[in-house]
Structure 1
Amino acid sequence: MRLRTTTKSTALVAVAALALTLSACGGASSAGGGEDSKEFTYWSMYKEDEPRAKVIKDAVAAFTKETGIKVELVFQGREVLNKLQPTLVGGNVAADLVDQSQFKIRDTLAATGNARDLSGVLDAKVTGESKTVGETVPKAYQDLVKDKDGQTYLIPTNVQTWQVFFNKKQLPDVAANPPKTFDEFIALLDKRKAAGKAPLALDGDILAYVDQWVSTLMIRELGAGNWKKVLEDKSGAGFDKPEVLKAAQNAEKIGKGKYFVDGWDASKFPAIQQKWAQNKADFLFMGTWGPSETGEIAGKDFEYGSFPFPKTAGGHDSEQASLYGYGIPKKAKNGGAAEKFIQFFLGKKWMDRLATEEKSITVRADVPAVKELQGPQKALQDAGAIHVSQDGAEGMSDWETKITQPLSKKLISGQISAADYVAELKKSTVNWWKANG
């Protein structure tokens, strides 16, 4: 899904039940408060009418019935952490548990010293199961949610990734033999263009979507972790690496090839992805929320297929993982009770419901994704490495929106050359660091 700001709605869940001992959930709390609490406050990023909200409400009711721990559940919407932030100062933090993206919990809680270390949750048993939370969350994901001191600031529940989506019924040859290399991909685009088809769909007004093409090509050339090093080198020397220019040249090749459907660069979301769902373009490079967003437009003859973004000459096959899950403020009064809910919600019953009702990929390998997302799920499981957006460069969101995203659109649309793109990106990034770091 593409996250949007929403209004606040509140649901107070307080199911009466005989008080059970808190150890009913097999708790193993990290350092912090509220180990013996009988209640906690949960602020969610979701709206009350979203599919996940229904799962959350049912899980909260079941948790309270089983443990006697009451939960005040507030659906704050996407601005949940902005609303929480002012309360982190002092001793009256407003919520004991929050759900959000990895980056937002990292920047709001972990980077400011306001995150409770959740390493102990990883060692605790999933409620009602023999496995620990750490045994259900792949290590590759665990490594992505540790701060500089090695403390865990997020327990992920689900993951999004990016794939090249297409209609298997329209392109059975691609379904049988998807392109494995960038050269094969370009050859396929040339073939489709020669046949009078529009190969690629892209809503150009969403600059983050445009930049995804360029950043993916960078990580394909440099390998996971190395684009981050380039971006965080305040001297700008990393931009002189030959792999950076090569990646930009591959993006330039996309731009000069004029593969995108007409009107993409002046479109207003979701016009172009809807055209794709109507078979007016062949391929959509999109996050795994794509099938859900286009499902009502795609007809009965549309069967979702996908393949990972092909390898370039760099040979790297890292897959992007955008994690969503739970964080607990360090000063939470009822942090121990909140931890027990995390152990409860990671149960297979609730992860199964997320997979089917929300149509998301959960972190649990034993929970199959819906049919249209089984390809992306397998790509994540088979990936040689995992990376995050912009390869995990920290504190650079302002740089993304003001510098790299506009430049990426110029490159992808063929307005500037690869060499000019690298030179301008280097210059602007060095200046940005002088002003910001």
Structure 2
Amino acid sequence: MAVSRRWLVGLIALLLVLSLYPAGASGQGAVKLTFWSWRVEDKWAYDRMIRVFQQRNPGIAVEFVPFRATEYNTILSSALTAGKGPDIIHLRAYGGLETFTAPGFIAPLDFETVPELKTFSRTILEGAKGRKDGKIYGVPFASQTIVIYYNKKIFAQHSLTVPKTWDEFLALMKTLKDKGVLPLANGGKDGWTLEVLSGAIAPNFYGGTAFFDAVTRGQTSFKDPTYTSALARLLELRPYMHANFMGVDYATMQQLFISEQAAMFIGGSWEIGFFRAQNRNLDFDVFAAPPLKAGQTPWVSSFNDGNYGINAKTPSMEAALKFIRFTATREFGQMFTDMLAQNSAVPGVVIKDPVLKRVQELNRKATPYIMLVGFRWQAPTGSTLLQSALQAMMAGTKTPEQVGDEVTRGLSVWVDSFRGR
């Protein structure tokens, strides 16, 4: 009988957990904390930050153990279900966090146990709260923003400037295409990248936060013409993507931009450090997707990327709290931003990276990344529904109106206000 990969990963996780020393095990008077994460590529940075903590707390050792992102949730869930797992946990945000807080796997935090949380913005803390009880379960580690990257050298070669309106954006891409340059690196093979694409473009046309508030409060649905007409704008990008863009996956998108074959890449602020690491000579910057009319301030979608939490069953709660409080300090946030070129969620961090600084400026008019923040709380998630529907729309087999109807009907399973709409 065939064994599923998911089952096998879960079994391996259990064997791993049972083979390790118990979480928080101590030896020779020192407490040892384990810290699990999906950020394999960031291990070097976390090891450095952990060394700073250990210098301040010589009685506590922390081991950072990353897993492949595609397997992390399964491994973590299997371990926690077995009553094991790490002491410190790299957690997702919003609905991804709820998966682990609802069963009681994560220890709740508050302003008394982690007073540093008082300084965090209310918006960013929403991604660290359980939906059912409203309690805080983690320290937010980063906020991410969806932007348009552009190759400054290619723009200069063709005397192009950052577009201020949607029509200018389309004209710019036509100019690039006419000159034999691929305007957009984006593709459609991986559905989640199309959700990112919509997060960059659509808010300017559906009205940003006003629509987010209306749809999350049950005053409208995704069948609203305001929303479906915003999705229709994505179809205007197809002529400026790869000829076989539906076969272009995420890794290929990245390589098209890194290798300077494509002039622009629509994606998240998390790409900054990766782009630099892959091509030190790549000269790039970012801008927000332009609005319809000149003079309008463009929206950007943003969100809490995740949180640091504590296993509710750790035998070393005092030591774990010390480490969690460290992750909420400005010192930690500054190291995080400087090393990883990401926008730390810790208030007061000084951004030195010029591209990240530009992202910070664009965040002055940020709107929630609609499906992640508002509709990933139960299954089917808004993201799952939107991603598959957008793939069909971009392939030409569904209309924007059909996408809005499909997403609304799918969410009506658990969103009461969508029933009967």
* TM-score, normalising length: structure 2: 0.77
State which of 276, 282, 303 in structure 1 corresponds to 2:257. 276
What is the identity, as a one-letter code, of the residue corresponding to 2:47? Answer: K
Q: Which residue of structure 2 lines up, in the alignment, with residue 170 of structure 1? A: 154
Q: Secondary structure at the match of 2:177?
A: helix
Q: Is the 8 A contact 1:201 1:281 kept in 2?
A: yes
1:46-84 Cα distance to aligned partner (Å, 9 max, x none): 44973333224414422432xx34546544554455334
The answer for the alignment partner of 1:264 in structure 2 is 245
Q: Contact between 1:264 and 1:272, CA under 8 Å: does it hold in 2?
A: no
The DSSP-based 3-state class of the residue aligned with 1:213 is helix
Offset of residue 408 of structure 1? 0.6
For residues 200-211 of structure 1, the aligned pairs below 5 Å read 200-211=184-195
Q: Distance in 1 between matches of 2:52 and 2:371?
A: 30
Partner SS for 2:285: strand
Name the CA shift for 1:181/1:378 in 2 (closer, same or farther; >3 Å): same
Identity %: 19
Equivalent residue letter for 2:262: A
Please give the per-residue CA displacement for 1:281-325, whole angstroms capped at 9, x wherever unaligned.
22100112323333355463x311101223357977243124233
2: CA distance between counterparts of 1:101 and 1:197? Answer: 37
Q: CA 1:391/1:433 → structure 2, altered by over 3 Å: closer, same or farther? A: closer
Question: Is the contact made by 2:35 and 2:65 (CA closer than 8 Å) also made in structure 1?
Answer: yes
Matched, 1:250 2:233: yes
Instruction: Verify the 8 A CA contact 2:40 2:67 in the aligned structure 1.
Output: yes
Task: Indicate how the Cα distance of structure 1 residues 397 and 341 shifts in structure 2: closer, same or farther if over 3 A, else same.
Answer: same
Quote the offset at 1:336 in angstroms: 3.5
Q: Name the CA shift for 1:422/1:85 in 2 (closer, same or farther; >3 Å).
A: closer
Change (3 A) 1:16 1:432: closer
Distance 1:427 1:141, change over 3 A: closer
**Contact kept in structure 2, 1:354 and 1:362, CA below 8 Å:** yes
- Contact 2:88–2:311 under 8 Å retained in 1: yes
Pair 1:315–1:247, CA change in 2 (3 A): farther
Deviations 1:323-372, CA, capped at 9 Å, x for gaps = 23311234444334322212223334433332233232212342315334
Give the partner amino acid of 1:206. Answer: D
- How far is 1:195 from its partner? 3.9
| Counterpart residue number, 1:187 | 171
Q: RMSD over aligned Cα, in angstroms?
A: 4.1
2:106 and 2:310 in contact (8 A); partners too = yes
Amino acid at match of 1:50: K
Q: Which runs of 5+ in 1 are unaligned?
A: 20-37, 125-131
Looking at structure 2, the residues matched to 310 and 173 of structure 1 have their Cα atoms a distance apart, in angstroms, of 22
Are 1:215 and 1:390, in contact at CA under 8 Å, matched by a contact in 2? no
For the residue of structure 2 that corresponds to 1:102, the secondary structure is coil
Q: Choose 277-286 or 41-50, whichever is displaced more.
A: 41-50
How much has 1:209 moved relative to structure 2? 0.5
The AA in structure 1 aligned to 2:175 is K
1:105, distance to aligned residue in structure 2 (A): 5.4
Name the SS of the counterpart of 1:50 in structure 2: helix
State how far apart, in whole Å, the 2-side matches of 1:387 and 1:272 are.
Answer: 21
Hey, what does 1:128 align to over in structure 2?
none
Q: Deviations over 1:97-148 (max 9, x none)?
A: 2113224751332333443322226862xxxxxxx4432x334312332333
Q: Which amino acid aligns with 1:371?
A: P
Give 1:288's aligned residue. 269
1:377, distance to aligned residue in structure 2 (A) = 2.9
1:108 paired residue among 85, 99, 118 = 99
Give the conservation status (yes or no) of the 8 Å contact 2:188–2:246. yes
Q: Secondary structure at the match of 1:179?
A: coil
Letter in 1 for 2:75: K
Q: CA deviation at 1:208?
A: 0.4
**8 Å Cα contact 2:227/2:404 also seen in 1:** yes
Task: Provide Cα deviations, 1:378-411, integer angstroms capped at 9, x if missing partner.
Answer: 323x235444654431335644575321221232
Per the alignment, do residues 392 and 231 of structure 1 end up closer, same or farther by CA in structure 2, a change over 3 Å counting?
closer
8 Å contact from structure 1 (residues 322, 389) kept in 2: no
Tell me how far apart the structure 1 counterparts of residues 372 and 224 of structure 2 sit (CA, whole Å). 17
Match of 1:224 among 205, 209, 229: 209
Determine if the alignment matches structure 1 residue 304 to structure 2 residue 280: no
Say which SS state the counterpart of residue 266 (structure 2) adopts: strand
Give matches, 1:348-367, under 5 Å. Answer: 348-364=330-346, 365-367=348-350
Deviation at 1:260, TM superposition (A): 0.5
2:86 pairs with 1:95: yes
Q: Which amino acid aligns with 2:125?
A: Q
The aligned counterpart of 2:5 is none
Q: Give the deviation of 1:265 after TM superposition.
A: 1.7
Q: 1:252 to 1:72 in 2, by over 3 A?
A: closer
- CA drift at 1:247: 0.9
Q: Which residue of structure 2 lines up, in the alignment, with residue 214 of structure 1?
A: 198
- Contact 2:87-2:320 within 8 A present in 1 as well: yes
- Say if 2:46 is the partner of 1:61: no
- Partner Cα separation in structure 1 for residue 370 and residue 103 of structure 2: 20
Q: Secondary structure at the match of 2:163?
A: coil
What secondary structure, in the 3-state scheme, does the structure 1 residue paired with 2:222 have? helix
**Contact conserved, 2:54 with 2:60, CA < 8 A, in 1?**
no
- d(CA) in 1 for partners of 2:25, 2:311: 22
Structure 1 residue 156 and structure 2 residue 140: aligned?
Answer: yes
How far, CA to CA, are the matches of 1:209 and 1:349 in structure 2?
33
Q: Is the 8 A contact 1:291 1:304 kept in 2?
A: no
> Partners in 2 of 1:213 and 1:193 — Cα distance?
20
Aligned residues: 396
- 1:147 and 2:130 matched: yes
